[in-house]
Amino acid sequence: MATIFSPPPISSSASATATATPSSKPSPSSKPLLPIPSSKPQLTAALTAAAIATVLTTTPLPSLADSSTNYQVYYGTAASAANYGGYGGNSSKKDSAEYVYDVPEGWKERLVSKVEKGTNGTDSEFFNPKKKSEKEYLTFLAGFRQLAPKDTVLNNLALSDVELQDLIANADGLTSEEKKDENGQIYYVYEIDGAGTHSLISVTCAKNKLYAHFVNAPTPEWNRDKEILRHVHESFKTIGSF
> Are 41 and 138 in a shared domain?
no
> Are 16 and 51 in a shared domain?
yes
> Are 165 and 85 in a shared domain?
yes
Q: Which amino acid is at 14?
A: A
> Are 37 and 115 in a shared domain?
no
Reference 228, options 111, 89, 98, 107; nearest CA is: 107
> Are 112 and 196 in a shared domain?
yes
> Are 121 and 151 in a shared domain?
yes
Instruction: Tell me, yes or no, whether 65 lies in a domain.
Output: no
pLDDT of amino acid 240: 77
Torsion over CA: 169, 172, 177, 182 (sign): negative
> Are 26 and 136 in a shared domain?
no
> For residue 46, what are the domain limits?
12-58
Pinpoint the alpha helices (H) of the chain: 12-20, 40-58, 114-120, 150-159, 162-169, 219-235
Side by side, the strands of the sheet bearing 186-193 are 108-109, 122-128, 131-142, 209-218, 197-206, 186-193, 173-180
209, containing H or E segment: strand 209-218
> Are 215 and 97 in a shared domain?
yes
> Are 36 and 108 in a shared domain?
no
pLDDT of amino acid 93: 77
Instruction: Tell me, yes or no, whether 7 lies in a domain.
Output: no
pLDDT of amino acid 28: 46
> Are 42 and 154 in a shared domain?
no
pLDDT of amino acid 2: 43
The number of folded domains in the chain is 2
215, containing H or E segment: strand 209-218
Instruction: Tell me, yes or no, whether 6 lies in a domain.
Output: no
In order along its 242 residues, the chain shows pLDDT tens digits of 444 444 444 444 434 333 434 444 444 444 444 444 444 445 445 444 444 444 333 333 344 444 588 999 999 999 876 666 544 444 467 888 999 999 999 999 999 988 888 888 999 999 999 999 999 999 999 999 999 999 999 999 999 888 899 999 999 999 999 999 999 999 999 999 998 999 999 999 999 999 999 999 999 999 999 999 999 999 999 997 65
Domain CATH for 85? 3.40.1000.10
Widest distance between CA atoms in the chain? 118
* Torsion (CA) 232, 99, 142, 107 in degrees, nearest 10: -40
